[in-house]
Amino acid sequence: MKKVVGTCLIALAFWQSSLAQSSKMDKFIDQLMAKMTVEEKIGQLNLVTGGEATTGTTVSTDVESKIQRGQIGGIFSMSTPSKIRQTQEIAVKQSRLKIPIIFGMDVIHGYRTVFPIPLGLAATWDMDLIQQSARIAAEEATADGINWAFSPMVDISRDPRWGRISEGAGEDTYLSSKVAEAIVHGFQGNNLAAYNTMMACVKHFALYGAAEGGRDYNSTDMSLHRMYNEYLPPYKAALDAGAGSIMTSFNDINGVPASANKWLMTDVLRKQWGFKGLVVTDYTAVNELMAHGLGDLQQVSALSLQAGVDMDMVGEGFLTTLKKSLDEGKVKLDDINRACRFVLEAKYKLGLFEDPYRYCNEQRAQSIIGSPAHHEKAREIAAKSFVLLKNENQALPLKKSGTVAVIGPLANSGPNMPGTWSVSAELDKTASLVEGMKSVLGNKVNILTHLGSNLLADSTYQKHATMFGRTIARDPRKEEDIIAEAVKTAQQADIVIAALGESSEMSGESSSRSELDIPKNQQDLLKALLATGKPVVLVLFTGRPLTLTWEDAHVPAILNVWFGGSETGKAVADVLFGDIVPSGKITATFPRNVGQIPIYYAHKNTGRPYGNSGDFEKFKSNYLDVSNTPLYPFGYGLSYTTFTYSDIRLDRNTLDSNSSIQASIDISNTGDYDAEETVQLYIQDLVGSVTRPVKELKGFQKIFLKKGEQKTVKFEIQIKDLKFYDNNLNYLAEPGDFKIYIGTNSRDVKEKEFKLL
Ligand code: BGC
């Protein structure tokens, strides 16, 4: 009882102090806004680029005098304490009201020290590690003058043709929500005003990952039922975790582009979810409303503001048209005031009014950015993100002896190791795969290497795929000649490691693909290497699920290493040579071919379910030419050891709103290596007023088992785990029968039934 009272008192004190904080903030901002002209208020809504990394046309010119005139609220893609201090000085010394600038950056998977791409981070299923990666990124970025991260990207995607699937946590609602929370906590800590924390920006609101045909920036059209159950929860989870800002998406949603979508930005975001932070558009998204067909710049800027958008990224439509719209009665001062207040509040919460130079500390920048400790963490996380897709006859791990030939276009390209959106990485200083491996293996293993083939046979396509400094050497000879020479190198080795796949810019923004195989010329190389009869390990670089049907059938071992960040090479050596046992599991389904897309584990049953026999079944929901099953299911990933799962035990088989069911399962390490396993819990609602997915992830636990060891894993199931939105958007659980599944991936599971009363 004492404890309960104590907890209540602490909660009350906390509530009172945050109330006092916010009334202090309100008072401060009221006073400041009372002094501001309309032009100065509109100026705060203008976010311009500092030009270090851009994904479109840059509009703003004459930045310095705009700052002096109070026409810029924020700048992104600018770094270093000295440059930011200099710029901040203009704002706080030369503008009339001395309002500091907020500095943003795409801090997506690390800053100078780069961690695996987000899809790889998610594959660790390790929320502590993911949070630590964001914490380190924030330590480094804030030391470099930045206080606002355009991350996490929480867009669910079930279409690997979409290149930006690499930037999110994959296809699952529950897992993406957990990852979103971890990243927000990592960036923001528990005090946004601290010198080493930064404001998170959840993106891209909303449904950006559901672009038709997987083509970037394309339209989405989705039922509310699907939106609320499957696509919206990760945004909400990130906001509930305290994210201070949110970014609108480029796409059209059921006929209204997100950046002008009042239902989304005001009804859902503000009214239903109670969000009280800053809404910023994506890059020139206001201007793009013209191409969407919503009007001229003045009209679309007014629409966007009225929809609930506060800050305009890059396009300057707000800056150049809102005053006119106000004078003509086309927008209300209230809307401008609202938007301005949210911008000022963000600055207040970051402590910028107290100390505009809080994030500019040369000495801290020098001592922590890219520190050895950060690199050690990056190496650990990279190794844990790798997914062992195949390991026939224990081809891996390798022995640390003899000669290994590392062959392929990704073998010697340091700049490609960090992956897409590593805008603050030192690309030229990043070790290549071969360099990283050599530094770990020393002279124990003799390493030979060869380009093997070009990244892509088509030089134009290669040019796009290696932009932003991510070069890969191009050999002008015929592909056959390069391959023939590589084969000679392979013949001198005991083992061949084929370093193949995508370059980092073949995924990420504006990198949609209609075919998802390893490029044809690289496949030819792989076939030639296999034909030598040497054992071949495929080390696969990719930012998305690829179609690996042929490779799975012919290559003895496949290790998917995504883009592992700064320490990729060392981490690959750690895993290939057995110092670390692989434990990553994919969070987006790998299809057998492109025609299966969209393919995801949490699908509906249909009225004519397919029996998964592998063969075509007439008058069932399946294809004539490919099975419904994926090549690798969601949650899949092998280990060097084996795990055996017992049957599930339930402590009771009925549930009501006041009780819970405990499900237990024993897991044994039955192989030869100590290793980590991710135990996954899925639930299926068997009967409902609306159709429900065949399985939905509802929990997972990472355990470490020494060889021969057994552990019991327990999951508690409560009514909240069974709730969903019905077609009237009521959030409820319906009584009836449910199935519980526990297993090593979404396919290989044990099951048990229970009833909700
Ligand atoms: C991307 C965003 C990014 C922004 C700023 C846009 O092109 O869609 O994810 O945060 O650029 O760089």
DSSP one-letter code for 391: E
Residue nearest to atom 2 of ligand 1 (CA): 282
Helix (H) / strand (E) containing 141: helix 127-143
Q: Rounded CA gap, 236 and 246, in Å? A: 10
pLDDT value at residue 11: 59
| Number of Cα atoms under 13 Å in the Cβ half of residue 57 | 8
Distance between Cα 655 and ligand 1 center (Å): 45
Express each pLDDT in 712-726 by its tens digit.
Answer: 999 999 999 999 999
Q: Rounded CA gap, 746 and 732, in Å? A: 25
Q: Which of 649, 574, 206, 192 is nearest to 378 (CA)?
A: 574
pLDDT value at residue 51: 76
**DSSP letters along 629-698, please?**
S-SB-TT--B-SS-EEE---EES-SEE-TT--EEEEEEEEE-SSS-EEEEEEEEEEE-S-SS---S-EEE
Q: Which of 76, 287, 247 is nearest to 155 (CA)?
A: 247
Asked about 282 being catalytic, the answer comes back as yes
Residue nearest to atom 11 of ligand 1 (CA): 283
Q: Which two tokens stand for residue 740?
A: 């519980």
* Pocket residue to mutate for ligand 1, from 47, 79, 153, 282, most atoms within 8 A of Cβ: 282
Spell out the domain ranges in the chain: 43-365, 379-576, 641-756
pLDDT value at residue 100: 98
Report residues whose beta carbon is within 6 angstroms of any ligand 1 atom: 55, 106, 150, 203, 282-283, 509
Q: Rounded CA gap, 538 and 529, in Å? A: 10
* Pocket residue to mutate for ligand 1, from 48, 49, 52, 55, most atoms within 8 A of Cβ: 55
Q: Rounded CA gap, 745 and 678, in Å? A: 8
Per DSSP, the chain holds a count of helices (H) and strands (E) of 22, 27
Given a cut of 90, is residue 14 above it in pLDDT?
no
Q: Would the pTM count as exceeding 0.95?
A: yes
Q: Rounded CA gap, 537 and 560, in Å? A: 11
Helix (H) / strand (E) containing 289: helix 285-292
Q: Rounded CA gap, 526 and 539, in Å? A: 11
| Number of Cα atoms under 13 Å in the Cβ half of residue 694 | 14
CATH architecture, domain defined by 641-756: Sandwich (2.60)
pLDDT value at residue 53: 65
Q: Rounded CA gap, 281 and 45, in Å? A: 10
Of residues 54 and 466, more confidence is placed in 466
Q: Rounded CA gap, 289 and 261, in Å? A: 11
> Sorting pLDDT into bands at 50, 70 and 90, what band is 468?
confident
Report, as an integer, the average pLDDT of 535-564. Answer: 98
pLDDT value at residue 467: 87
Express each pLDDT in 53-106 by its tens digit.
Answer: 666 666 677 899 999 999 999 999 999 999 999 999 999 999 999 999 999 999
What percent of the chain is predicted at pLDDT more than 70? 97
Report, as an integer, the average pLDDT of 136-161. Answer: 98
Residue nearest to atom 8 of ligand 1 (CA): 282
Q: Rounded CA gap, 244 and 345, in Å? A: 10
Express each pLDDT in 730-752 by its tens digit.
Answer: 999 999 999 999 999 999 999 99
Q: What letters, b where the CB count within 10 A reaches 16 and e where it falls short, cover 537-554? A: bbbbbbbbbbbbeebbee
Express each pLDDT in 490-535 by its tens digit.
Answer: 999 999 999 999 999 999 999 999 999 999 999 999 999 999 999 9
Of 106, 126, 172, 282, the active-site residue reads: 282
Distance between Cα 409 and ligand 1 center (Å): 28
Residue nearest to atom 10 of ligand 1 (CA): 150
Given a cut of 60, is residue 4 above it in pLDDT?
no
Ligand 1 atom with the smallest distance to the CA of 55 is 7
Q: Rounded CA gap, 555 and 560, in Å? A: 13
Q: Which of 349, 327, 737, 388 is nearest to 537 (CA)?
A: 388
Express each pLDDT in 168-191 by its tens digit.
Answer: 999 999 999 999 999 999 999 999
Which CATH superfamily does the domain covering 379-576 fall into? Glycoside hydrolase family 3 C-terminal domain (3.40.50.1700)
Average predicted confidence (pLDDT) for the chain? 96
Domain 43-365 has CATH 3.20.20.300: yes
Distance between Cα 21 and ligand 1 center (Å): 32
| Preceding omega of 152 cis (within 30 degrees of 0) | yes
